[in-house]
């Protein structure tokens, strides 16, 4: 018993935590409006029942005009005031509705944005979030349940208390002894039967609610993958125009159809599994309030039959009883629903409470105008979480101040991984990376990140206005943005944009937006890195999408663009490496060569020489095939 009580207290504490969370997330007003509207919705009919009973008794009895007028006036006045307040709450609530959903989604997106990057990439974390969203959108479970529960809980509670107050009289009226069933219900036994049914209802509601929770939860596990496929096939693929070309050229609609058929049959099986159980649970839940009402109706009828209560009393009590049954069902249903929802609430909090495990240092980074920052990799090795193979092994490397370092190597040799470690998106599995002699983990993470401007291979520009995208900010320095766009080679194109920096990239938010070509988008991404003006400039395949002239321009002016920054450039175009001070050659996760272009070329058996020869041969062949057109 003690254990049950402490379990119950735990459950209640979790529900309260949920409400505090929502109120803290900006939904306090919304919750108050919900509660106000619900309380008045329950109270108004009860007040009307009371006045109806009084008016009928007066009409059937002394028919005093003054008292009739007073009762009618009071009823109308109270109704008017309460209806106005309720209307206000409803309107306000509707106005806050969008904000509420915004707050709800923001809770999760804010958490994702602050989460360690390695967790965001982790498919298990993604699955957890998918499950939360799926339960929220389909079953209305999790935090969102607390919103809907406010209405029913308050309406139910106010309804139960007020109808009990109104109906109490029927159980207290003294009655003469009556024969048969009427005697049972008119006597104290009627009250006992009502109370027994009431208690039984609680038990049945709780059992039914537990069962339905079990069904939902087991389905949620099964459905997570199906739901992801659903979103991918029905939403991501058809709606992302960038996928449209491949979809058509490779007739991928065929694959989609097959997958959708598969999905539909899985869905059908799930539905079949769910429907009967949830159906009978609903039927049992609905039956009990009716049994309860029937027993009170019998009590009222028996007492009215023997003349213990008048016509007005019958209207008042019958009305109160039916409201009581409805309110009780609502209250118990919602309350047990809230308790069973705790299972999902726990899932939401597990996600929201997930601690960042990445060590958060406190040291501020030095603010150096001379960019005297020295980064060193000390015997660094790295495995991606959940994998057994080393993506990087025993890396020792120094990024010298102000130097231009090119990083080359075959696909999968660990180049991008090195950049991810450099920016602390991941921490080394072994070894350490230092900045000016201190382990980078000890620095304040945000300050450390501020040292890097990176253009990743899979860079992403948001569909904002061009100026805002480059500055990554709503307010920005226009002259600097213009300068950096020109530096990145987008100056000429900028002149053709009717709205200049205010032009939206893509048509997602504006019909007049521009769809940049792949190369133009890459130039804008380079401009964004330049605008950040961090001491380290890291470019991962920065010219993959550029035309030959634009590419040679970027490399020719690489030194100028990088200024006094330390620049790291990953590239498969080895000719571009000639512009760099040193070249690091990676092979199967290891740094196998490090030196200048000329030095590395002179090592005839070296990896760099092999890569160079392979590429040079290709260009020489192309030159022959094209009959010297390129000369
Ligand atoms: N998120 C990840 N999870 C698990 N393994 C990964 C992940 N990202 C990369 N890898 C693996 O790590 C190894 C190194 O990948 P990395 O992206 O660093 O190669 P790269 O040299 O940049 O290749 P490329 O030239 O193709 O861009 C590869 O074997 C790759 O499959």
Q: Which atom of ligand 1 is nearest to the CA of 420?
A: 18
* Alpha-helical segments (H) within 353-459: 415-422, 445-449
Cβ within 8 Å of residue 480, ≥6 positions away: 471, 531
Q: Could you give the CA distance from residue 142 to residue 189 in angstroms, rounded to a whole number? A: 42
Residue 594's DSSP bridge partners are 584
Q: Assess whether the C-beta atom of 416 lies below 6 angstroms from ligand 1.
A: yes
pLDDT on residue 133: 80
Q: Assess whether the C-beta atom of 62 lies below 6 angstroms from ligand 1.
A: no
- Give me the average pLDDT of each 10-residue run along the chain (631 residues): 78 92 81 93 94 92 92 96 95 84 83 87 82 77 87 93 88 77 77 82 75 68 64 63 64 69 73 74 76 82 84 88 82 81 88 86 74 88 91 94 90 94 93 93 90 86 86 89 89 86 83 83 89 90 75 73 85 81 94 92 90 75 43 34
pLDDT on residue 587: 95
Q: Assess whether the C-beta atom of 412 lies below 6 angstroms from ligand 1.
A: yes
Contact of 220 with 134, CB cutoff 8 Å: yes
Q: Could you give the CA distance from residue 561 to residue 557 in angstroms, rounded to a whole number? A: 6
Pocket test for ligand 1, best of 118, 119, 391, 406 (most atoms within 8 A of CB): 391
The CATH number of 9-212+288-352 is: 1.20.1560
Q: Assess whether the C-beta atom of 268 lies below 6 angstroms from ligand 1.
A: no
Residue 391 CA to ligand 1 center (angstroms) comes to 7
The number of angstroms, rounded, from the C-alpha of 384 to the middle of its chain's C-alpha atoms is 25
The number of angstroms, rounded, from the C-alpha of 145 to the middle of its chain's C-alpha atoms is 16
Lookup: tokens for 291: 């049994």
Lookup: tokens for 312: 């007005």
pLDDT on residue 626: 41
Q: Assess whether the C-beta atom of 522 lies below 6 angstroms from ligand 1.
A: no
Atom 17 in ligand 1: residue holding the nearest Cα: 416
Phi first, then psi, for residue 490 (nearest 5°) are: -105, 10
Q: Are strands 392-399 and 536-540 parallel, antiparallel or unpaired?
A: unpaired
Pocket test for ligand 1, best of 117, 119, 382, 384 (most atoms within 8 A of CB): 384
Contact of 194 with 308, CB cutoff 8 Å: no
CATH homologous superfamily of 368-451+535-631 equals P-loop containing nucleotide triphosphate hydrolases (3.40.50.300)
Atom 18 in ligand 1: residue holding the nearest Cα: 414
Q: Could you give the CA distance from residue 291 to residue 287 in angstroms, rounded to a whole number? A: 7
Phi first, then psi, for residue 409 (nearest 5°) are: 155, 165
Q: Which atom of ligand 1 is nearest to the CA of 386?
A: 4
Lookup: tokens for 533: 């003006």
Residue 521 CA to ligand 1 center (angstroms) comes to 23
Q: Could you give the CA distance from residue 442 to residue 448 in angstroms, rounded to a whole number? A: 10
Pocket test for ligand 1, best of 121, 415, 541 (most atoms within 8 A of CB): 415
* Alpha-helical segments (H) within 61-179: 65-114, 117-120, 123-139, 143-172
Task: Of 171, 184, 467, give the one whose Cα is nearest residue 321.
Answer: 171
pLDDT on residue 221: 63
pLDDT on residue 495: 86
Using alpha carbons only, what angle is made at residue 21 by residues 18 and 25, rounded to the nearest 5 degrees?
Answer: 140
pLDDT on residue 230: 67
Atom 11 in ligand 1: residue holding the nearest Cα: 391
pLDDT on residue 287: 79
pLDDT on residue 246: 66
Q: Could you give the CA distance from residue 397 to residue 377 in angstroms, rounded to a whole number? A: 5
Q: Which atom of ligand 1 is nearest to the CA of 419?
A: 18
Rounded to two decimals, what is the model's pTM? 0.68
Tokens 């009393």 correspond to 313
pLDDT on residue 385: 84
Residue 583's DSSP bridge partners are 406, 595
Residue 429 CA to ligand 1 center (angstroms) comes to 15
Q: Could you give the CA distance from residue 474 to residue 468 in angstroms, rounded to a whole number? A: 5
Contact of 602 with 573, CB cutoff 8 Å: no
Atom 5 in ligand 1: residue holding the nearest Cα: 384
Contact of 281 with 291, CB cutoff 8 Å: no
Residue 118 CA to ligand 1 center (angstroms) comes to 14
Domain locations along the chain: 9-212+288-352, 368-451+535-631, 461-533
Count of CA atoms in the C-beta half-sphere (13 A) of 190: 27
pLDDT on residue 217: 66
Residue 415 CA to ligand 1 center (angstroms) comes to 8
Contact of 211 with 281, CB cutoff 8 Å: yes
Q: Assess whether the C-beta atom of 21 lies below 6 angstroms from ligand 1.
A: no
For 494, the enclosing helix (H) or strand (E) is helix 491-495
Lookup: tokens for 518: 């792949």
Q: Could you give the CA distance from residue 631 to residue 620 in angstroms, rounded to a whole number? A: 11
pLDDT on residue 130: 80
Burial of 10 from C-beta contacts in 10 A (0-12 / 13-18 / 19+)? exposed
Domains 9-212+288-352 and 461-533 agree in fold: no
Residue 413 CA to ligand 1 center (angstroms) comes to 7
Q: Assess whether the C-beta atom of 496 lies below 6 angstroms from ligand 1.
A: no
589 secondary structure, DSSP code: T
Task: Of 341, 216, 207, 210, give the one whose Cα is nearest residue 270.
Answer: 216
Residue 416 CA to ligand 1 center (angstroms) comes to 7
Atom 24 in ligand 1: residue holding the nearest Cα: 411
Q: Could you give the CA distance from residue 24 to residue 36 in angstroms, rounded to a whole number? A: 19
The ipTM assigned to this model is 0.97
Cβ within 8 Å of residue 47, ≥6 positions away: 75, 78, 79, 82
Residue 40's DSSP bridge partners are none
Atom 9 in ligand 1: residue holding the nearest Cα: 417
Phi first, then psi, for residue 415 (nearest 5°) are: -65, -50
Q: Assess whether the C-beta atom of 391 lies below 6 angstroms from ligand 1.
A: yes
Q: Assess whether the C-beta atom of 409 lies below 6 angstroms from ligand 1.
A: yes
Say how many C-beta atoms besides its own lie within 10 A of residue 620's C-beta: 10
pLDDT on residue 16: 94
| Dihedral over Cα of 457, 462, 467, 472: its sign | negative
Residue 529 CA to ligand 1 center (angstroms) comes to 23
Using alpha carbons only, what angle is made at residue 350 by residues 346 and 355, rounded to the nearest 5 degrees?
Answer: 155
Q: Assess whether the C-beta atom of 415 lies below 6 angstroms from ligand 1.
A: yes
Q: What is the DSSP string of 274-313?
A: HHHHHHHHHHHHHHHHHHHHHHHHHHHHHHHHTTSS-HHH
CATH architecture of 461-533: 3-Layer(aba) Sandwich (3.40)
């Amino acid at each position: 018993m003690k254990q049950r009580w402490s379990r119950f207290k735990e459950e209640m504490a979790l529900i309260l935590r949920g409400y505090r969370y929502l109120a803290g997330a900006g939904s306090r007003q919304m919750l108050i409006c919900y509660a106000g509207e619900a309380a008045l919705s329950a109270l108004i009919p009860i007040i009307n029942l009371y006045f109806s009973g009084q008016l009928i008794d007066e009409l059937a009895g002394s028919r005093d005009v003054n008292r009739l007028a007073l009762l009618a006036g009071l009823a109308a006045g109270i109704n008017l005031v309460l209806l106005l307040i309720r209307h206000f709450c409803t309107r306000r609530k509707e106005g806050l509705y969008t904000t509420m959903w915004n707050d709800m989604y923001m809770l999760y997106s804010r958490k994702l944005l602050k989460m360690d990057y390695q967790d965001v990439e982790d498919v298990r974390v993604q699955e957890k979030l998918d499950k939360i969203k799926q339960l929220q959108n389909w079953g209305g479970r999790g935090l969102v349940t607390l919103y809907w529960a406010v209405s029913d809980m308050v309406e139910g509670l106010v309804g139960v208390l007020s109808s009990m107050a109104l109906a109490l009289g029927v159980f207290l009226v003294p009655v003469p002894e009556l024969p048969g069933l009427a005697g049972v219900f008119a006597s104290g036994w009627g009250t006992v039967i009502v109370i027994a049914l009431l208690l039984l209802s609680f038990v049945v509601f709780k059992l039914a609610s537990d069962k339905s929770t079990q069904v939902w939860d087991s389905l949620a596990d099964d459905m997570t993958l199906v739901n992801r496929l659903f979103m991918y096939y029905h939403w991501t693929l058809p709606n992302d125009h960038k996928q449209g070309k491949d979809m058509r050229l490779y007739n991928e609609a065929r694959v989609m159809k097959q997958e959708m058929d598969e999905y539909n049959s899985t869905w059908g099986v799930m539905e079949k599994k769910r429907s009967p159980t949830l159906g009978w649970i609903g039927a049992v839940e609905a039956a009990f309030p009716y049994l309860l009402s029937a027993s009170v109706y019998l009590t009222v009828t028996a007492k009215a039959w023997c003349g213990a209560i008048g016509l007005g009393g019958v209207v008042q009590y019958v009305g109160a009883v039916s409201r009581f049954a409805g309110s009780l069902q609502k209250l118990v249903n919602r309350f047990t629903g809230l308790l069973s929802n705790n299972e999902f609430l726990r899932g939401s909090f597990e996600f929201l409470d997930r601690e960042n495990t990445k060590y958060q240092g406190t040291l501020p980074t030095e603010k150096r105008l001379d960019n005297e920052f020295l980064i060193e990799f000390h015997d660094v090795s790295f495995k991606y979480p959940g994998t057994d193979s080393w993506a990087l092994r025993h890396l020792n490397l120094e990024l010298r101040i102000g130097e231009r370092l090119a990083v080359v190597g075959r696909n999968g040799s660990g180049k991008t991984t090195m950049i991810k470690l450099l920016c602390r998106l991941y921490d080394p599995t072994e070894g350490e990376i230092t900045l000016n002699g201190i382990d980078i983990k000890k620095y304040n993470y945000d300050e450390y990140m501020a040292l890097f401007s990176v253009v990743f291979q899979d860079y992403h520009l948001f569909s904002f206005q061009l100026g805002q995208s480059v500055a990554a900010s709503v307010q920005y320095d226009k002259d600097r943005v213009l300068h950096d766009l020109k530096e990145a080679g987008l100056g000429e194109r900028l002149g053709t944009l009717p709205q200049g920096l205010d032009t939206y990239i893509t048509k997602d938010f504006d019909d007049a937006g521009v769809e940049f070509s792949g190369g133009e988008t890459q130039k804008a991404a380079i401009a964004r890195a330049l605008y950040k003006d961090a001491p380290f400039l890291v470019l991962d395949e920065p010219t993959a999408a550029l035309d030959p002239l634009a590419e040679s321009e970027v490399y020719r002016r690489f030194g100028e663009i990088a200024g006094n920054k330390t620049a790291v450039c990953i590239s498969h175009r080895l000719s571009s490496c000639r512009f760099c001070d040193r070249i690091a050659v990676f092979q199967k996760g290891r740094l196998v060569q490090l030196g200048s272009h000329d030095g590395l070329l002179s090592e005839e058996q070296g990896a760099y020489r092999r890569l160079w020869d392979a590429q040079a041969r290709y260009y020489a062949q192309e030159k022959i095939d094209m009959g010297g057109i390129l000369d």
